[in-house]
Amino acid sequence: MQGGKRILLVIGGGIAAYKSLELIREIRKRGGTVRCILTKAGEQFVTPLSVSSLSGDKVYGDLFSLTDEAEMGHIELSRAADLVVVAPATADLMAKAANGLANDLASTALLATDKPVLFAPAMNVRMWLHPAVQRNVDALRRDGALFVGPDEGEMACGEFGPGRMAEPARIADAVDRALSGPAAGPLAGKRILVTSGPTHEPIDPVRYIANRSSGKQGHAIARAAAAAGADVTLVSGPVALPDPPGMRVIRVETARDMLGAVESALPADAAVFCAAVADWRAAEQGAQKIKKTGAAPSPLALAENPDILATIARRERGRPALVVGFAAETESVIEHAKVKLAKKGCDWIVANDVGAEDGVMGGDSNTVHLVGPAGVESWPTMDKARVAERLVERIAAALAEDGRA
Ligand code: CTP
């Protein structure tokens, strides 16, 4: 798949750098060529000689090297590649790339490149989960960067959790996907609809009923589906996130607007209802700001909102082949999810416990259970992007199976 493709591999300073040697071999085995930048910190873990022996090329490391700049300047180095891969992508390298710093050859090449960049992060779990790192990862994703991993597992430092660099074969698969573009992804040719975020239900011109949903999980699912080649429509309630690139985004405010937008976006092959839709709205919306009168306030009369998921899942015509709902629960998560699966008429429910762990709503990681007719699958705690990727893999497999039947 990588025949003739040129990869610029930036090897950062982390213990996972030894796996990058294997990555060089894997890419070359698949027909690609690899030119390497080894950072100063990277040199503490692997030697330039090993890197150059495996890549069959000279190794670049110095921004101000007169000989290197004469042969191939840093600008040319960053552009004479079809794809730039950063593995291991350390917290420091990602921070520089996210903020446009350029004080060494690796960061300068990342700033100067006009090619897609794939990061394979590797670091201690606490570092990976640190808000500063997650902020930088978000910023890089928004700038269009691609990510593979990190994986979850035991780390060189003895701790356990997400942060381990993806295995070389998995990085090489991501390289293949990045080089062939989304058109060749597992969801190529499929239409996927995703709802995300909260809804706002106005009480009067300045007040509304809302909830704590940030939209992070739904937006991550939309992004993962687009990266897998799908034609994505994202229907989003009010969120502080930017519109993800490469998809149609319909911004709505209320549950009723959301239902309208969802109906206008159908047909779709699969629909994922991740939005935290308000179940109730104010029965009457005040035309003017409601004033204090001094008397006891009258109770707010509520009216029930349409259930968007159930409406679409129970459609007789034009129902997406796969309808996925979410269930945010604070107790008896799996039991409630099973009841919800039957009540809503959808194919799967992704259930998460929003009570057990602080900060799921608005946070960056999620612990979910995939509940379907065949049973329950409990996934380990992962960051929301990884939950999204995994869900999208499952959706692609289910749609492919459907297609064969
Ligand atoms: N949902 C929807 N429209 C609504 C309410 C919910 O589409 N008006 C969808 C959500 O997007 C989610 C699923 O239904 O996929 C579960 O929503 P939830 O609010 O947890 O379920 P409810 O039926 O409201 O049950 P409860 O509030 O009692 O837990």
* Residues 399/269, Cβ–Cβ less than 8 Å: yes
Residue 251 sits in a domain whose CATH number is 3.40.50.10300
From atom 17 of ligand 1, which residue's Cα is the shortest distance away?
327
Task: Tell whether the model's pLDDT for residue 378 goes beyond 50.
Answer: yes
The pLDDT value given to residue 245: 75
pLDDT at residue 288 tops 80: yes
Indicate the residue among 116, 145, 180 that finishes a domain: 180
173 and 312 belong to one structural domain: no
Give the residue-averaged pLDDT of 38-53.
Answer: 96
pLDDT at 34: 97
Q: Which of 5-9, 61-65, 366-370 has the lowest mean pLDDT?
A: 61-65
Q: Indicate which residue's Cα is closest to atom 20 of ligand 1.
A: 327
Within-domain flag for 306: yes
- Residue 45: give the domain boundaries: 6-180
Which pLDDT belongs to residue 297? 75
- Show the 3-state SS of 11-77: ECCCCCHHHHHHHHHHHHHCCCEEEEEECCCHHHCCCHHHHHHHHCCCEECCCCCHHHHHHCCHHHH
Cα gap 42→208, rounded to integer Å: 52
Judgement on whether residues 29 and 86 belong to the same structural domain of the protein = yes
Together in a domain, 387 and 315: yes
Angle between helices 17-29 and 48-55 (to 10 degrees): 10
Identify whether 157 is a catalytic site residue.
yes
Count Cβ atoms within 10 A of the Cβ of residue 317 and give its class: 0-12 exposed, 13-18 middle, 19 or more buried: exposed
Answer whether residue 140 is part of any domain.
yes
Spacing, Cα 76 to ligand 1 middle (Å): 52
Instruction: Identify whether residues 384 and 341 lie together within a single domain.
Output: yes
pLDDT, position 404: 45
Both 388 and 341 in one domain: the answer is yes
The rounded Å distance from CA 137 to ligand 1 centre is 30
Quick: pLDDT tens for 7-22.
Answer: 999 999 999 999 999 9
Confidence (pLDDT) at 71: 62
Q: Is the CB of 308 under 6 A from ligand 1?
A: yes
Whole-number Å distance, alpha carbon 336 to ligand 1 midpoint, is 12
Note whether 360 and 326 are within 8 A (CB): no
The pLDDT of residue 360 is 64
Domain count, the chain: 2
Q: Which of 180, 206, 225 corresponds to the end of one domain?
A: 180
Give the distance (Å) from ligand 1 centre to CA of residue 325: 8
Pocket mutation for ligand 1, best pick of 308, 333, 368, 391 (most atoms within 8 Å of C-beta) = 308
Establish whether residue 275 lines the binding site of ligand 1, counting it when its CB lies within 6 angstroms of any ligand atom.
yes
Amino acid 115 reads K
Nearest CA to ligand 1 atom 4: 307
Return d(Cα 317, Cα 395) in angstroms, integer: 21
Tell me the CA–centroid distance for residue 276 and ligand 1, in Å: 7
User: Is the confidence at residue 155, as pLDDT, over 80?
Assistant: no
pLDDT at 70: 60
Stated pTM of the model: 0.67
- For 231-362, list the strands marked E by DSSP: 231-236, 248-251, 270-273, 280-282, 302-304, 322-329, 348-353
Q: Dump pLDDT digits (tens) for 135-147.
A: 999 889 878 899 9
Ligand 1 pocket, residue 255 CB under 6 Å: yes
Q: Indicate whether 359 pLDDT > 70.
A: no
Ligand 1 pocket member 45 (CB < 6 A) = no
Give yes or no: residues 33 and 94 share one domain: yes
Is 1 part of any domain?
Answer: no
pLDDT bracket for residue 187 (50, 70, 90)? very high
pLDDT greater than 70 at residue 69: no
